[in-house]
Amino acid sequence: MKYVDEFRDRDHAETLAKAITATATKPWTIMEVCGGQTHSIVRFGLDELLPKTVTLVHGPGCPVCVTPVALIDQAIRLASIPRVTLCTFGDMLRVPGSRQDLFAAKAGGGDVRIIYSPLDALRLAQALPNREIVCFAVGFETTAPAFAMAVQQAQSTGIKNFSLLVAHVLVPPAMEAMLSAPGCRVQGFLAAGHVCTVMGYEEYEPLAARYRVPIVVTGFEPVDILEGVLMAVAQLEEGRAVVENQYARSVHRLGNRQAQALVAAVFAPASRAWRGIGAIPLSGLTLNLTYAKFDAALRFQKELGDCDTEGIEDSTCQSGLILQGLCKPTDCEAFGTRCTPERPLGAPMVSSEGACAAYYRYRGHAMHEK
Amino acid sequence: MTYHKPVEPACPLPKMQGDTVQLAHGGGGRLMQNLIRDVFVRSFGDPLSTHLHDGATWPVSEGTVAFTTDSYVVQPLCFPGGDIGSLAVHGTVNDLAMCGARPLWLSAGFILEEGLSIATLQRVVDSMAQAARDAGVSIVTGDTKVVDKGKGDGIFINTAGIGVVPAGVIVGPRRIRPGDAILVSGDLGSHGIAVLSMREGLALAGNIVSDSAPVHRVVADLLAHDIEIHCLRDLTRGGLASALNEIAAVAGVGISVDERRIPVRDEVRGACELLGLDPLYVANEGRFAAFIPEAQAARAVAIMRGHGVANAAVRIGGVMGHESSGVVLKTVLGTHRVLDLLLGEQLPRIC
């Protein structure tokens, strides 16, 4: 299959792995930011190909994983309102809230529907004019333009029974929070290719300069990731720290200006809590004043009034450390024992981009006993 | 033989009172008699079912009787390459084939939702009858119930099937031996993706058609050529990965398969990449895995390829010793990973 097979080519991958081995003379720790990259690494066993000198640690780039418990609780509460239909991407359903998940809310009679695009939810709002359609807006900069477009279309076509529960987060503030934290062990980043497709990589340049850290915009296929690692290792060995673009077939320095304009027209930056990590200033999006009437948190303020604003997280779950690359899923004592996809303690075990889910699915549960 | 026969939209309508199914059609009275006569008997047309008793009787020959049942609730009722009617025949015929049996008789139980159009029912029943004729099986008994509007999803069908396993043939996971070759009968994932794309209204590039088809003649041919079939498994819900995991657990062995050898059409791979699904977990309705002694594997592949429904048959891996367990996948890069059971259905990913 074109655009896939050439990036999964065994010979090319082995050549790159050899080049990494030849280049790395010292131990280096590199973080892949995006959960999609984490899954590729574990699914294709890329770490088997890497030399011992290069350690990959997994980053916070799983939007499902970092959505705070309090917001999941709010989504569950909204789903329990008889006149509300809650639309969500499929992988939010199993993420545990304080007491239950959206699957349980659905089984309990809530109208919860899986969508593939925010525009599906908008069409549902048109088809069901007597119901309130609330769309759980989860994601990084990648999915924000589609939600912005849905809101603009709702506005222009006069659809009033549509709103968003916004949980959008932004990547650069999270990278900066990690870099400025004491004990940060990340020496180089593979930045998330899809996020940069929308946003470009201009905004990463000050980060690379300020924290003296190489940042390589990287794709998601095995050859992409190995090439990204090679570029980062080469920079580290040469003492350089700049932004480079491995994923040039998708990403331009300035990104997709139209998509950015759409996001800027509908959303405004806001501080947001990240599950397991805590509050990060200006690390999320909220609907701006023009579109605030589409904000489900405001529209259903009364019904959400007594929803716990903190949320209750399992205290043994190490997802915060895992999402910051401070430990691996298999370092967690609950991994594969108390925490499984059937009974997850934290979101990374159930999200399709979660690091724990990747290890459980592709490495097997026995890994923990190793 | 054409397996992917499209449903004819212009089938003649029966002379019925009204054009939708009513609750009274399941009430045991005249309307129900009319429905049975004008829709079911008219299409299934088997001499036994014209008796309209509560059951059918048939003499048995030598061998062992195989008996299976399955229910079909697919939405949409019609999808590229089939419909709930043909699926209800193929699924149960294949379940029997996986026991090494020659499928003979099916029952057909219908649960109809009030308000269903008779024309839709007729299309499904006609398609079911055609599928049964193509597979050489008879639908010999049936039942119809009608539920209130909103309590069903148009049509649910249950089919039970009876077949005869030839004397001396024993097929099952416990016969699997270390060193056995694992074959699949064709490319994977088309059925699940065809249904999903139809259900979700996804406009996917390429024409992805369900693989729904009866495979019993392939099995019969393998047996006729003295292939020592150790185990067969149709790759329905949960796909290849789930089937291999179940078999490895029951047989107490480890299984190793090579990702590069597993056939998946580019259109299906593309759709799976887009939706975040793994084709190895996607349902098939006309594909199976066969566990065969290594020495007979090449010959078995050649025999399978002689059949239209298995013309892409290929060896994908082998059975490891009893000291190993689970399923290991050799990736396209030559690295290894576990091919695990999923918790439930695959959920499309976020971005």
pTM, rounded to two decimals: 0.84
Is the Cβ–Cβ distance between A240 and A214 less than 8 Å? Answer: yes
Query: What pLDDT score was predicted for residue B102?
Result: 95
Whole-angstrom Cα distance, residue A140 to residue B351? 9
Sign of CA dihedral A209, A210, A213, A218: negative
For B332, the closest of A8, A64, A341 (CB atoms) is: A8
All residues of chain B having their beta carbon less than 8 Å from the beta carbon of residue A4 are 269-270, 273
Task: Please give the structure tokens belonging to residue B288.
Answer: 């199976």
Query: A90 and chain B: CB distance < 8 Å anywhere?
Result: yes
Reference B243, options B277, B310, B288, B285; nearest CA is: B288
Size of chain A in residues:
370
Size of chain B in residues:
351
Query: What pLDDT score was predicted for residue B281?
Result: 93
A21, part of any domain: no
A273, part of any domain: yes
For A342, the closest of B334, B343, B351 (CB atoms) is: B343
Whole-angstrom Cα distance, residue A82 to residue B303? 58
Is the Cβ–Cβ distance between B122 and B14 less than 8 Å? Answer: yes
Q: Is the pLDDT of residue B198 over 90?
A: no
Query: What pLDDT score was predicted for residue B30?
Result: 79
Helices B190-199 and B266-275 cross at an angle (nearest 10°) of 50
For A54, phi then psi, to 5°, come to -105, 120
Report which listed range, B3-7, B45-49, B54-58, B163-167, is most confident. Answer: B163-167
Mutation target vs B (from A115, A349, A361; most B CBs, 10 A cutoff)? A361
- Interface contact A44-B332, CB threshold 8 A: yes
Query: B200 and chain A: CB distance < 8 Å anywhere?
Result: yes
Residues carrying CATH 3.90.650.10, chain B: 173-338
CA-nearest residue to B345 within chain A is A90
Judged by average pLDDT, the poorest of A165-174, A357-366, B3-12, B197-206 is B3-12
Specify the CATH number of the domain B23-165.
3.30.1330.10
Whole-angstrom Cα distance, residue B110 to residue A146? 43
Query: What pLDDT score was predicted for residue B53?
Result: 58
Whole-angstrom Cα distance, residue A213 to residue A207? 8
Query: What pLDDT score was predicted for residue A90?
Result: 87
Query: What pLDDT score was predicted for residue B12?
Result: 41
Task: Please give the structure tokens belonging to residue A328.
Answer: 């691996």
Task: Please give the structure tokens belonging to residue B312.
Answer: 């892409």
Query: What pLDDT score was predicted for residue B47?
Result: 53
Residue pairs spanning A and B at CB distance below 8 A: 89
Query: What pLDDT score was predicted for residue B347?
Result: 58
Is the Cβ–Cβ distance between A286 and A295 less than 8 Å? Answer: yes
A331, part of any domain: no
Reference B189, options B209, B166, B206; nearest CA is: B209
The highest-level CATH class for domain B173-338 is alpha beta
For A364, the closest of B326, B331, B335 (CB atoms) is: B326
Distance from the Cα of B185 to chain A's closest Cα (Å) equals: 21
Query: Which residues does B59 contact at the CB level (< 8 Å), separation at least 6?
Result: none
A142, part of any domain: yes
Q: Is the pLDDT of residue B14 over 50?
A: no
Reference B238, options B278, B296, B179, B181; nearest CA is: B278
Query: What pLDDT score was predicted for residue B228?
Result: 97
Whole-angstrom Cα distance, residue B301 to residue A166? 54
Sign of CA dihedral A67, A57, A191, A183: positive
Cross-strand partners of A31:
A57, A189
Q: How many CA atoms lie within 13 A of A144 on its CB side?
A: 33
Query: Which residues does A3 contact at the CB level (< 8 Å), separation at least 6?
Result: none
- Interface contact B350-A64, CB threshold 8 A: yes
Outline where chain A has alpha helix (H): 10-23, 35-43, 46-49, 63-66, 69-79, 102-107, 118-127, 144-157, 171-180, 193-199, 205-211, 222-238, 257-266, 296-299, 301-304, 319-323, 355-363
Whole-angstrom Cα distance, residue B187 to residue B173? 23
- Interface contact B333-A13, CB threshold 8 A: yes
For A352, the closest of B269, B276, B332 (CB atoms) is: B276
Distance from the Cα of A300 to chain B's closest Cα (Å) equals: 25
Residue, of B307 and A319, whose pLDDT is higher = B307
Query: What pLDDT score was predicted for residue B10?
Result: 41
A75, part of any domain: yes
CATH number at residue A269: 3.40.50.11740
Query: What pLDDT score was predicted for residue B346?
Result: 66
A209, part of any domain: no
* Residue A137, H or E segment: strand A132-137
CA-nearest residue to A42 within chain B is B337
Distances from the Cα of A333 to the Cα of A317, A330, A356, angstroms: 9, 8, 12
Is the Cβ–Cβ distance between A311 and A70 less than 8 Å? Answer: yes
Query: What pLDDT score was predicted for residue B18?
Result: 65
For A352, the closest of B334, B336, B349 (CB atoms) is: B349
pLDDT band of residue B60 (cuts 50, 70, 90) is: confident
Distances from the Cα of B71 to the Cα of B111, B135, B275, B346, angstroms: 10, 19, 27, 21
User: For B141-171, what is each residue's pLDDT tens digit?
Assistant: 889 999 999 999 999 999 999 999 999 999 9
DSSP string, A305-324: TTS-SS----TT--HHHHHT
Per the structure, how many domains does chain A have? 1
Contact residues, A window 123-182, toward B, CB-based 8 Å cutoff: 138-140, 142-143
Query: What pLDDT score was predicted for residue B207?
Result: 82
Residues carrying CATH 3.30.1330.10, chain B: 23-165
A72, part of any domain: yes
- E-strand stretches of B216-308: 231-234, 254-258, 288-292
**How high is the ipTM of this complex?**
0.79
Query: What pLDDT score was predicted for residue B51?
Result: 52
* Domain range for A144: 65-169+256-304
Whole-angstrom Cα distance, residue A83 to residue A88? 16
What are the pLDDT tens digits along chain A (370 aa)?
Answer: 888 889 999 999 999 999 999 999 999 999 999 999 999 999 999 989 999 999 999 999 999 999 999 999 999 999 999 999 999 998 899 899 998 999 999 999 999 999 989 999 999 999 999 999 999 999 999 999 999 999 999 999 999 999 999 999 999 999 999 999 988 999 999 999 999 999 999 999 999 999 999 999 999 999 999 999 999 999 999 999 999 999 999 999 999 999 999 999 999 999 999 988 889 999 999 999 999 999 999 999 999 987 766 778 788 899 889 988 889 999 999 999 999 988 899 989 988 889 999 999 898 754 333 3
pLDDT band of residue B274 (cuts 50, 70, 90) is: confident
Task: Please give the structure tokens belonging to residue A133.
Answer: 């359609």
Q: Is the pLDDT of residue B13 over 50?
A: no
